[in-house]
Amino acid sequence: MADVQALLQDSGEPTLEQAIATAKERFHNVVLNIAITGESGVGKSSFVNAIRGLKNNDKAAAPTGITQTTTAPTKYPHETMQNIIFWDLPGIGDSTFTSSTYMKQFNFQNYDFFIIVSASRFKENDLFLANQIKKMNMKFYFVRTKVDLDVNDQEDMGVSEEDALQKIRKDCEKNLKSLKSSINPQVFLLTSRNLKRFDFQKFVEVLETDLPEHKRKALILSVPVYSQQFLQKKYKILKREVWAAAITSGGVGGIPMPGVSTVFDITLASASGEA
């Protein structure tokens, strides 16, 4: 009984019944649907794998290749948090999915936000997607992938990484302006090979700001750890929310959201060992 009273106090709710209801809402009703879109061959599937903490050759990874490998919206739940779902959408712009049919074939209103991916220059199809998403009053983000390859090429010519990144960023901004768009988005420079590099931290921070609180926490718990600071942030969320897990299941080991127990143990151990 003392344990229950302690959990009830941590929850901040006046009654056990209300605490249980709040706990169930936190862990069962928070679903985050993230759509990854863009033209074919830009690395969308690799990005889906990276943000789920997987390598391209892992068993549960999205198929990747030099040809079109995604022919229908494909659902990829997070490995340990099944309510965080990444949707790998088919590439727009080829003979199968033209801009005139793309929006009609896929239910864009079903997603929380969109990540428009490009590996070189953003094109008219990317801007078309952004404008259509904007019309629906939904969030979207431009992500420029494979930046590590460009940086390596520039370094071979004697250009520093900082100058190379600045050059790529300016090129992206100039490229989007050349499409004569009223959209003036921030472009995030990333590489799916190593999310710790470049703009991934900034990207996650922007997503955190834009999402409502309950979905923000779910995002933070699902994203791979890219820094000690982010590891501590995960740990603090888990520490605050563990009362809900315990009150719903009778203990951390039986948390009804798959993988949270493991994430808590790993995060706790990592935070304690590296702090």
Structural domains present in the chain = 2-28+227-274 (no CATH), 32-220 (3.40.50.300)
Contact 37, 9 (CB under 8 A): no
pTM, full prediction: 0.75
In 3D space, the residue among 18, 41, 28 whose CA is nearest the CA of residue 83 turns out to be 28
Query: What's the pLDDT tens digit per position in 174-224?
Result: 888 776 666 667 899 999 999 889 999 999 999 988 988 778 878 887 888
**Cβ atoms of 88 and 73 closer than 8 Å:** yes
Q: What is the pLDDT of residues 9-35, one digit of tens each?
A: 665 667 656 665 665 566 556 788 999
Tokens of 210: 């834009």
What band does 40 get if pLDDT is binned at 50, 70 and 90? confident
**Predicted confidence (pLDDT) per residue in 128-157, tens digit:** 888 888 888 888 999 999 999 999 999 999
Q: What is the DSSP letter of 88?
A: E
